[in-house]
Amino acid sequence: MPAPNEALLISGRKQRGADALPFKIVTGHGVFVVPVFSRASRLTLAMQEAEVMEDCYTQQGITLAVHAVIAFKVGDDHESIAAAARRFQGDQTQMPTLVGRIFSGHLRSIIGSMTVEAIIREQQTLADAIVDASKTEMARIGLAVDSLQISSIDDKGVGYIRALAAPHQARVNQEAKVAQAAADRQSAMAQQESMRHQAEYARQTAIAQAQYQAQIDEAQQTAAQAGPLAAARAQQDVIAERAMVAQKAAELRQAELIAEVVRPAEAEAERIRALARAEADATKLSAEAAAAQDRIALDQQIIQQLPEMLRAAAQGLQGANVTVLDGAEGLNSVVASLAAQGVAMLDTIRTGLRTPSAAEPPGAEVTPLHAKPTGPVAPTA
């Protein structure tokens, strides 16, 4: 199977047709070759290069040494491959040599019809003319030219080309000097402008630095002045905060003292007062009870003696001449009067014998018990 830049030539079998080639051309695919009956060879289709270095005479008779490079290859069609195979299959290295010879002849022919000035100014036109002139011959041998480049043209030390270039060179030099002077002037102006900008920048920088330094100094002065005041304010704030903390602590301690001392003391005092009141009430009740018992005992004594007293009073009335008015009612009144006098006597005795109790204040008026108004009794002698 041939490579992409190769053509396979198969010979040994008889080809049919009057125009049949003595070999078969195969490109782009493989083919089976019978070793005994056929033989296969390869033809390169790759790009190749040929160089031409030739002394040529111009129309003015000036000798020029021309160096050119030609890029060529075998054509891709079967006719070109067949033509190249007939000529170069035996020795493919002869292709660059033959191409160089072909182009040397066309190069001398075309340069001989041109002046040095035209050759120098129109080198691409010269190359195109040489390629066009060689196409027919190259096609007959199955080759195609891709490009031709003229590498150098030399007048072999005559100085003609240099003389041709001298006016242009002088003009170029003059223009270069003018351009250099303009460039130098522009550079000097640019340097001066740069120096002015640098000076202005330095001045602005100095002003800015001075202003900045003034602001720094002012800020430092303000800070230095404000420092003690701020410290004093901070100290005052600290003192005020400490006072608040102390006040809170005192309030807390006061509350603790009230809870721990005052409240228990008040509770104890209230308990003592309650006990005193209870004892006073008990004493009063005891005194009243004792007085009541004394009165009861006295009343019992008096009651026990009252009949005896009434008998004595009745005996005193015996033999007395008592006139009872109003009949039975008068008698009742007399009896009632006697009874009332007995009661009054009982009260008088009780009052005389009674001592004021501890519950009664000194000098209090004592009211006789069972005191009742008595009716008139009219004893008569």
| Segment 305-361, tens digit of pLDDT | 766 766 766 665 555 555 545 555 555 565 566 666 666 666 666 565 554 544 445
Look at 20 and 304; give whichever has higher pLDDT: 304
169-180: average pLDDT: 85
Q: What is the structure's pLDDT at 114?
A: 92
Domains of the chain: 47-156 (3.30.479.30), 319-381 (no CATH)
Which residues touch 356 (CB under 8 Å, ≥6 apart)?
362, 364, 366
The dihedrals phi and psi of 12, each to the nearest 5 degrees, come to 110, -20
Higher pLDDT, 320 or 260: 260
pLDDT of res. 323: 54
Q: Which band of pLDDT confidence, cut at 50, 70 and 90, is reported for residue 370? A: very low
Q: Which of 139-153, 255-269, 353-367 has the lowest mean pLDDT?
A: 353-367
pLDDT value, residue 325: 52
For residue 205, is pLDDT > 70?
Answer: yes
The whole-number pLDDT of residue 364 equals 47
Per-residue pLDDT, 337 = 67
pLDDT beyond 90 at 65 = yes
Phi, psi dihedrals of residue 69, rounded to the nearest 5° = -125, 130
What pLDDT is stored for residue 66 in this prediction?
Answer: 93
Based on the number of CB atoms within 10 Å of its own CB, is 67 exposed (0-12), middle (13-18) or buried (19 or more)? Answer: middle
- Whole-structure pTM over 0.85, yes or no? no
Per-residue pLDDT, averaged over 118-129, amounts to: 90
Q: How many angstroms separate the most distant Cα atoms in the chain?
A: 226
**pLDDT at residue 133 tops 70:** yes
Of residues 183 and 257, which shows the higher confidence score?
183
Q: Poorest-confidence range of 56-65, 210-219, 286-295?
A: 286-295
Q: What does the pLDDT average to over 33-43? A: 63
H helix runs in 122-159, sequence order:
123-140
With 0-12 / 13-18 / 19 or more C-beta atoms within 10 angstroms meaning exposed / middle / buried, residue 291 is: middle
Residues ≥6 apart with Cβ < 8 Å to 87: 98, 141, 142
**Using only C-alpha atoms, what is the Rg of the chain?**
83
